[in-house]
């Protein structure tokens, strides 16, 4: 009997144990391959889409290129170039193409003109800004830009003149100019701090000033000092700080030092007291009689120059008698038996429009009842009683006439026109009208000197125009001035003197409205120029012609 061989199943058993692991790995690998296949399919789809888009873009590009070529061929310059290169172009086609090109060129010229105008305007503004600033480098650059922009030669000459003046300045003048500009800047900052009520910054600024800087005299556009500006703007902190500065009040902050004046007054023999107040009507107690010896010479001349007032009587309801004297109204209660030499104290209203040093001495005046008081019965007054009177003392300029309200002003009687005279000077008449037409003052003066005014003022030409009307029609300014002066229409403005810190109007050439300014120094009648400082702007003090300056009160 044969024995069966023994088989060994060890490896098979080992493979049986590792099979699940291998299956799991193969499953992961299969899943990876499937994912890669899906990604490749998506990539293929994206490539196909991009190919389609590329084809569409190519078609769009070809279409736009064709349209552009067609548009370029329709442009005037392209049509002109095609017409010039083609031998089949007719005269009408060439004329049409040239007309289209001319329209395009005209449009380009208009655009060029507008651009040049903008550049010229910018260069003009920069040039005059540089002239006003006075900076040498900026002005030189502005001149170069103005020349490139073809600015007018007159403006270029002004800029060149200013540049030469700046280059000719000495080192001392340059230093003074820089100091003046720095002072103007500090002045602006000071008023700005007052407006903001910033007392700390203003204090630092004032403490940084060098010795001799008269910041108390600075004025803003309205002619106000720092203190007055702080008052008007209700800057309480700044006002309190300025009030506390030693040596600067009241002299530095009393406006113009002429509006607020120190007025010493002696009242009924008592001690004098000094008050600072603005010009107004102040009621003080003083005797009824003011001695001209006790007044200064100026006030005495004013009082003595007044016309003698007329007395007007009236009766009050209470039976008292009142007398009116132009500027003086006296109300008294007469008594049957008046004590000898009664003391009369009365309130006096003193006009302080022009304040003067007034010292009133006490005097005695006998009060006598007026028997001529019409219809008024005398009232009994006990001994020792005092009658009160109201006196208005006028300190205005002498020669001023006062009238009662009921009194109507007297107008000068109009003289009848002179009778029409026969023309006995035909040659002079023709010469006068010819001189007016030619604006010849010398010939006109010869006629006016030879003929009386009543004769030549009645002369008329065939159009019914006299000499003055004809000068207006023909715009003969010189002969009009001669005729208006001879007829009394134009009068020469009298020369006056100007005092320091006086407010004036300055009438500049070419300006409709005058500018406000302040006189910086006393100017006599003989001087031809006045040193003023304008309220607006930051310009330094400058001399202007006397004929351009006029007082505000005039």
Residue 376 in this model has a pLDDT that exceeds 50:
no
Query: What radius of gyration, in Å, describes the C-alpha atoms of the chain?
Result: 50
Residue 41 in this model has a pLDDT that exceeds 60:
yes
337 within 8 A of 383, measured Cβ to Cβ: yes
What one-character-per-residue DSSP string does 499-546 give? -TT-EEEE--TT-SS-EEEEE-S-B-SS-SEEEEEESSSSPPPEEEEG
Residue 373 in this model has a pLDDT that exceeds 70:
no
Work out the burial of residue 433: count CB atoms within 10 Å of its CB; fewer than 13 is exposed, 13-18 middle, 19 or more buried. buried
Q: Mean pLDDT, the chain, as a whole number?
A: 72
pLDDT at 211: 81
pLDDT at 526: 87
pLDDT at 279: 42
Q: 315 pLDDT band (50/70/90 cuts)?
A: very low
At 52, which helix (H) or strand (E)?
Answer: helix 10-74
Mean pLDDT along residues 509-523: 89
Instruction: State pLDDT tens for residues 232-291.
Output: 999 899 988 988 874 444 444 444 444 434 444 444 444 444 444 444 444 444 444 444
pLDDT at 25: 87
Residue 372 in this model has a pLDDT that exceeds 50:
no
Q: 13 pLDDT band (50/70/90 cuts)?
A: low
Query: Is omega for the bond preceding 250 within 30 degrees of 0, making it cis?
Result: yes
At 104, which helix (H) or strand (E)?
Answer: helix 91-133
Residue 440 in this model has a pLDDT that exceeds 60:
yes
Residue 436 in this model has a pLDDT that exceeds 60:
yes
pLDDT at 177: 84
pLDDT at 147: 92
pLDDT at 7: 52
Distance of CA 279 to the CA centre of its chain: 28
Mean pLDDT along residues 4-15: 54
Residue 459 in this model has a pLDDT that exceeds 90:
yes
- DSSP letter at 362? -
Mean pLDDT along residues 59-83: 79
Find all residues with CB under 8 Å of 363, minimum gap 6, and list them. Answer: 287, 288, 289, 291
By percentage, how much of the chain surpasses pLDDT 70? 63
pLDDT at 337: 45
Mean pLDDT along residues 381-402: 43
483 within 8 A of 441, measured Cβ to Cβ: no
Find all residues with CB under 8 Å of 210, minimum gap 6, and list them. Answer: none
Q: 43 pLDDT band (50/70/90 cuts)?
A: very high
More confident site: 266 or 16: 16
pLDDT at 6: 52
CA pair distance 55, 503, nearest whole angstrom:
88
Mean pLDDT along residues 8-23: 66
More confident site: 48 or 16: 48
pLDDT at 21: 83
Q: 301 pLDDT band (50/70/90 cuts)?
A: very low
Instruction: State pLDDT tens for residues 118-177.
Output: 999 999 999 999 998 888 889 999 999 999 999 999 999 999 999 998 888 888 888 888
More confident site: 505 or 405: 505
Find all residues with CB under 8 Å of 207, minimum gap 6, and list them. Answer: none
Residue 362 in this model has a pLDDT that exceeds 90:
no
Work out the burial of residue 88: count CB atoms within 10 Å of its CB; fewer than 13 is exposed, 13-18 middle, 19 or more buried. exposed
pLDDT at 39: 93
At 321, which helix (H) or strand (E)?
Answer: strand 321-325
More confident site: 483 or 81: 483
CA pair distance 483, 119, nearest whole angstrom:
50
């Amino acid at each position: 009997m044969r024995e069966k061989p023994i088989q060994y199943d060890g490896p098979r058993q080992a493979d049986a144990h590792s099979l699940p692991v291998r299956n799991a790995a193969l499953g992961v690998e299969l899943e990876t391959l499937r994912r890669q296949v899906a990604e490749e399919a998506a990539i293929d789809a994206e490539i196909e889409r991009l190919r389609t888009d590329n084809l569409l873009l190519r078609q769009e590009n070809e279409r736009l290129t064709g349209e552009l070529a067609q548009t370029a061929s329709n442009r005037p310059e392209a049509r002109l170039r095609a017409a010039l290169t083609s031998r089949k172009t007719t005269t009408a086609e060439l004329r049409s193409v040239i007309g289209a090109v001319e329209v395009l060129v005209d449009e380009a010229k208009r655009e060029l003109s507008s651009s040049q105008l903008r550049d010229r305007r910018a260069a003009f503004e920069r040039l005059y800004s540089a002239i006003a600033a006075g900076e040498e480098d900026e002005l030189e650059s502005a001149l170069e830009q103005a020349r490139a922009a073809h600015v007018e030669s007159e403006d270029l000459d002004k800029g060149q003149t200013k540049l030469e003046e700046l280059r000719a300045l000495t080192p001392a003048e340059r230093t003074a100019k820089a100091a003046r500009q720095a002072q103007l800047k500090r002045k602006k900052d000071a008023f700005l701090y007052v407006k903001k009520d910033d007392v700390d910054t203003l204090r630092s600024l004032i403490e940084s000033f060098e010795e001799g800087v008269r910041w108390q005299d600075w004025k803003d556009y309205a002619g106000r000092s720092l203190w007055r500006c702080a008052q008007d703007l209700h800057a309480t902190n700044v006002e309190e700080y300025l009030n506390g500065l030693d040596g600067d009040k009241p002299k530095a902050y009393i406006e113009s030092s002429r509006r607020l004046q120190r007025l010493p007054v002696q009242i009924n023999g008592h001690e004098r007291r000094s008050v600072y107040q603005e010009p107004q009507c102040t009621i003080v107690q003083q005797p009824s009689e003011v001695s001209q010896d006790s007044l200064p010479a100026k006030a005495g001349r004013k009082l003595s120059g007044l016309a003698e007032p007329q007395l007007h009587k009236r009766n009050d309801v209470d039976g008292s008698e009142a007398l009116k004297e132009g500027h003086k109204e006296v109300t008294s209660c007469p008594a049957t038996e008046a004590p000898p030499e009664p003391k009369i104290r009365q309130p006096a209203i003193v006009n302080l429009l022009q304040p003067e040093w007034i010292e009133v001495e006490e005097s005695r005046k006998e009060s006598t009842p007026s028997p001529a008081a019409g219809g008024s019965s005398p009232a009994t007054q006990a001994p020792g009683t005092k009658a009160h009177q109201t006196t208005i003392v006028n300190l205005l300029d002498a020669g001023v006439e006062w009238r009662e309200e009921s009194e109507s002003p007297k107008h000068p009687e109009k003289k009848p026109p002179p009778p029409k005279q026969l023309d006995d000077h035909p040659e002079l008449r023709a010469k006068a009208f010819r001189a007016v037409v030619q604006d010849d003052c010398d010939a006109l003066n010869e006629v006016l000197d030879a003929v009386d005014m009543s004769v030549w003022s009645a002369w008329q030409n065939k159009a019914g125009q006299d000499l003055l009307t004809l000068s207006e029609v023909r715009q003969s300014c010189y002969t009009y001035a001669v005729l208006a002066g001879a007829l009394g229409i134009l009068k020469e403005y009298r020369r006056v003197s100007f005092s320091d810190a006086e407010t004036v109007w300055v009438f500049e050439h070419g300006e409709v409205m005058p500018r406000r300014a302040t006189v910086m120094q006393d100017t006599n009648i003989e001087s031809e120029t006045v040193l003023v400082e304008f309220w607006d702007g930051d310009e330094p003090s400058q001399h202007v012609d006397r004929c351009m300056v006029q007082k505000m009160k005039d």
